[in-house]
Chain A
């Protein structure tokens, strides 16, 4: 079930809005579907999906300034916290619920993932891989909390509070009985499966219950 059906198992991926994870997400999302983006920022991905794939776009964002920019560009965003912000949505309100580069910032990641799979038929989760060699080397050789391209913050100003590797996520999915419909591992604009947990900076998963 893994990424075998993916045409881009190896090689360069496109970018959308300067992000290769966005390109993958937009490829996976069916045109005209209902999409909820958690931690949607100023709504750039949602606006792109609405414009180019005709999706019904909704978002949740905690930062007032970003919420304002998102609404100003016509995206219906809810100003709130994703740790509890999904409660009011009925089951399967959405076809896809996206969590891009935010899982490691949530207070209750497992709760958020479960909620995503409750309100959405599919969940798309992209996160920076804490198993990447640069993280391992940084800790092993320098003995310092890693500061890398994907984890660019000093420990005292990082919003990241839950660190995970690709293997961690796969193990959790197995434990919880979630189906991994697709998975893609990225290093810059290069995607590949070889030693992904060591070589990939970002992983993107498509899940269902």
Chain B
């Protein structure tokens, strides 16, 4: 399946911070075919470092999408049955307007003049895209991690449009620990002299700071066990310690590699803006009552967490599930046994696929029979 990223421009987008962005570009991809009744559309919401290219092989570079193991013919999100949409988030750096985009007022990249955005701003922009595609109801909104936050926000913000929501490995409000890791990542970027107050687009970008931020991220995405299995104490291409500060261990090599790779495809300022959006995310708007937040929600839910995910622990999923149960909403919940930590929703997909496939099929039956 060769896919093209498409683009659409919207005149303006009002933001939670009070500012208005105009214009706003959105990069998106679609897979499968929208049926005549327009009842089979599914919106996939990517996590922090994802993009619009969720499935298939990119026509430009031939690379598979970030969730290609989940989306495609015969897969969990079966593109022979469903019409699947994925767009790059607001504030991102992969085609949708973000801090690296040109500010029309100055003709230069926004940098730090880009307004601080929120998860609900992202969703408001996705709503424009869905309207643009002529879709009135989404059979499902689904995403993991930051994508799960967007799925929750969708169900709350547009209850009449969301038939079902599948938040995976996520939370209804960022915890102190999650905010703390985000802040360390931001500080690593801002401590790099090349960051230059966010103004680096015509110069050397803050590659070292961004790489360190990504290294921290990767540690939080894995589990103690997955790191033990993957690296242990194995040395990298040597028999003995080097007695210096070059790479000794496999795990160091892996983190450095991941850090340096990330720099090629991600913008440091986007890192700041997207982590800030996650930090601000609180579905209860500070009231602390998820039951109140969910009161008008109509969607049926499938909530998934993973046993070894310590970045988004299962108790956070249970908060969501229990609030929905207190409202007697239709909610299914499973904590999938996995050793892969937070990464599980991307890599450990056999059981997740089985659950989602069945959940979607039963939801689709309900929609088709009414």
Which residues of chain A have a CB within 8 Å of any CB of chain B? 56, 58, 64, 67-69, 71-80, 88-90, 93
Contact = CB atoms under 8 A, between A and B. Distances in A.
A78 B331 CA distance: 7
Contact of B354 (A72, A78, A79, A80): A72
Nearest to A78: B333
B359 A64 contact: no
Interface of B: 300, 302, 321-322, 325-326, 328, 330-337, 351, 354-355, 357-359, 361-362, 365
Nearest to B318: A80
B97 to A, nearest CB: 37
A48 to B, nearest CB: 14
Contacts of B322: 88
Contacts of B332: 71, 75-78
A87 B45 CA distance: 32
A68 B305 CA distance: 12
B355 A74 contact: no
A16 B337 CA distance: 32
Nearest to B337: A64
Contact of A74 (B326, B328, B336, B359): B359
Nearest to B327: A90
Given A71-B332, A75-B332, A80-B333, 6 more contacts: A68-B334, A73-B358, A74-B362, A78-B325, A78-B333, A88-B325
Contacts of A68: 334, 336, 351, 354-355
A135 B328 CA distance: 41
A74 B354 CA distance: 11
A79 B333 contact: yes
B331 A71 contact: no
B331 A76 contact: yes
A75 B331 CA distance: 10
Given A64-B337, A68-B355, A71-B302, A76 B325 contact: no
B358 A74 contact: yes
Contacts of A77: 332-334
Contacts of B358: 71-74
Contacts of A74: 358-359, 361-362, 365
A188 to B, nearest CB: 34
26 contacts: A64-B336, A64-B337, A67-B333, A68-B334, A68-B351, A71-B302, A71-B332, A71-B359, A72-B355, A72-B357, A72-B359, A75-B332, A76-B300, A76-B330, A76-B331, A77-B332, A77-B334, A78-B325, A78-B331, A78-B333, A79-B334, A88-B322, A89-B326, A90-B326, A90-B328, A93-B328
